[in-house]
Amino acid sequence: MNFRRQAGLSKSLILKGMQCPKALYLTKNPPDFEFPPDPARDARFQAGSDVGIIAQGLFPGGVEVPYEGLSIPKQVEKTRQLIDQGINVIYEASFDFNGIFVKADILVRRDGMWEIHEVKMSTSVKEVNLDDVAIQHYVLSRCGLSVSRAFLVHIDNSYVRRGELDVHRLFASVDITDEVLKRQAALPAIIARLREDLQKGEPDIDIGPHCSDPYECDFIPWCWRHIPKDSIFSLRGRGIDKFAWYRQGTIRIEDLPLDALNGAQRFQAETTLNRQDVVEPDKIREFLDSLWYPLCHLDFETFDTPVPPFDGTRPYQKIPFQYSLHIQSSAGAEPEHCEYLVERGRDPRRELAERLLAEIPEEACVLTYNQAFEKGVLRGLAETFPDLADALNVRIDNIRDLMVPFKKRHVYRWQMRGSYSIKEVLPALVPDLTYKGLSIGEGGMAMLAYHEMCRTDDLFRLAEIRENLLEYCRLDTLAMVRILGALEGMVKKS
């Protein structure tokens, strides 16, 4: 093993090693394993980088040390030159001390001393952020800089955009100097231990809560590959301490004593082990009797971003950009389909609300799957457009929730594995209709597709994304039509 090559660390590698030394080792020595792509991680990285650039507006007129196109020594050299030239604001300032490389988002010189401003797209300060800035402080100080204060700059989610983006209101800046200083004494030993661990080879560390705390580890597909599908980790909700049982050697549900489980987990375990279904026709009938026709199956897709894109929006507000509607005039009738997908670059909200009101008759029953989400979106539209509020509130009042019979376990198939999500309910009840094979298979992917739709310059790709989005959302409401049909079938049979 080449110690010299492996001893080089960066701030993110140290943070990774602090979460799990094995993750650091595997980053430096990747296993021969095909990791699935993680578009959500890539999107988070892109969003973080966009937020970092916007935050530079807090200290305008600075000079950036680019990452792209410059080797690490060149970035460090360029930073040193800027400092020597008397530049007082440096973006992405780069330092290397004893093989530890860090980049500080924004470095500001005041009265001959330096302030670190670390930008995060979270909405509060987290423990891991303190470690992050502590490492920067450690390296900068040892490179001879006098660091006066350290700040964590995060998104202020109380900000409501009015007109041009107000960068000073979008961000909140928290002085974390004391916490950063407190961590300085421990850092040399932490770094030395990580380097020693790297020399020793792959650490013998088993899976545990550290796999997703503070971050979801990149190596989960590798380290968790021995965990079967029906493992104790597939038990939903709070209940047993799964890692405590795992450490005692219990991995499969069938090896757990059922008495150890709470009601919900025991129900899941027993139905899984016994391949047992539940159907309560009277309860299903009660639910079906609460619906009426015409009946509109409605599903929204939304996106959110740390930077509010439109007037009147807040950071991370869910903004609808698409809906699908299947309208049935009577029970079992062939549904009529309507849909909306915004043209990119446009604020979808007004257009979407007006189209929706035109397509959902005032007297119709509006069926959703997980009503809290659709109600939240419609309430947001009603707040934004007071002139549409009365009409939107009528639709909100008419909402019923198809998730209820599954959440209350009036209908349960063991294949649902304790879940009542439509993604589990559909294959269990309507196996011929599937999300498998679609480019977009769940709401998170739809949001990523929306962001890609807004960014891409490739018109062919743009058309493809639009088609994928339409196909996915259409399937969501078609799934509801078929699930409703399956419930009606269960009542007829009884």
Output the smallest distance, CB 21 to ligand SF4, in A.
8
Please select the residue that binds ligand SF4; options are 139, 217, 256, 429, rule is CB under 6 A.
217
Q: Which range touches ligand SF4 (CB under 6 A), out of 150-158, 219-227, 352-360, 401-409? A: 219-227
22 or 103, CB closer to ligand SF4? 22
Are the CB atoms for 449 and 468 separated by under 8 Å? yes
Please state the closest distance from residue 208 (CB atom) to ligand SF4, in A: 7
Please list, in sequence order, all residues whose beta carbon lies within 8 angstroms of the beta carbon of residue 16, skipping any fewer than 6 positions away. Answer: 23, 24, 27
Q: How far is the CB of 12 from ligand SF4 (least distance, A)?
A: 14
Of 160 and 205, CB closest to ligand SF4: 205
220 binds ligand SF4 (CB under 6 A): yes
Task: Build a one-symbol-per-residue string for 16-35: x at contacts with ligand SF4 by CB under 6 A, - elsewhere.
Answer: ----x-xx--x---------
Per DSSP (E only), the strands in 309-467 are 319-328, 336-341, 365-368, 399-401, 411-412
Q: Taking the complex as a whole, how short is the minimal distance between the CB of residue 138 and ligand SF4, in angstroms?
A: 24
What is the spatial distance between Cα 78 and Cα 73, in angstroms, rounded to a whole number?
A: 9
Which C-beta is closer to ligand SF4: that of 25 or that of 323?
Answer: 25
Partners of 113 in beta bridges:
110
The backbone region for 127, taken as left when phi is positive above 0, alpha when psi lies in -120 to 50, beta otherwise, is alpha
Of positions 223, 235, 422, 446, contacts ligand SF4 by CB under 6 A:
223
- Comparing CA positions, the residue from 89, 113, 115, 118 lying closest to residue 103 is 118
Query: In the bound complex, what is the minimum distance in angstroms from residue 5's beta carbon to ligand SF4?
Result: 21
Give, in degrees to the nearest 5, the angle at Cα 459 between 457 and 464: 115
Give Cβ neighbours of residue 409 (< 8 Å, ≥ 6 apart): 267, 278
Q: Site residues for ligand SF4, window 172-211 (CB under 6 A)?
A: 205, 207, 210-211
Judged by CB under 6 A, how many residues of this single chain contact ligand SF4?
12
Toward ligand SF4, which CB reaches closer, 31 or 73?
A: 31
**Do residues 317 and 303 make contact, with C-beta atoms less than 8 angstroms apart?**
no
Structure tokens that stand for 100 in this block? 């530890």
Q: Which residues contact 393 (CB under 8 A, 6 or more apart)?
A: 382
What the block records as the tokens of 179 is 């916490």
426 binds ligand SF4 (CB under 6 A): no
* CB of 221 or CB of 485, closer to ligand SF4: 221
Region 108-147 residues binding ligand SF4, contact defined as CB under 6 A: none
Between 185 and 244, CB nearer to ligand SF4: 244
One-character DSSP codes across 246-299? HHTT--BGGGS-GGGS-HHHHHHHHHHHHT--EE-HHHHHHHHHT--SSEEEEE
Residue placing its CB nearer to ligand SF4 in the complex, 217 or 425: 217
Angle at which helices 459-493 and 281-289 cross, to 10°? 120
Q: Compute the least distance from the CB of residue 448 to ligand SF4, in Å.
A: 23
Nearest approach, Cβ of residue 260 and ligand SF4 (Å): 25
Which of the stretches 137-145, 216-224, 391-399, 446-454 binds ligand SF4 when contact is defined by CB under 6 A? 216-224
Q: How far is the CB of 197 from ligand SF4 (least distance, A)?
A: 12
3-state secondary structure of 331: coil
Looking at beta carbons only, is 23 or 76 nearer to ligand SF4? Answer: 23
Q: Which of 216, 219, 197 is nearest to 206 (CA)?
A: 219
The residues that touch ligand SF4, with contacts defined as CB under 6 A, are 20, 22-23, 26, 205, 207, 210-211, 217, 219-220, 223
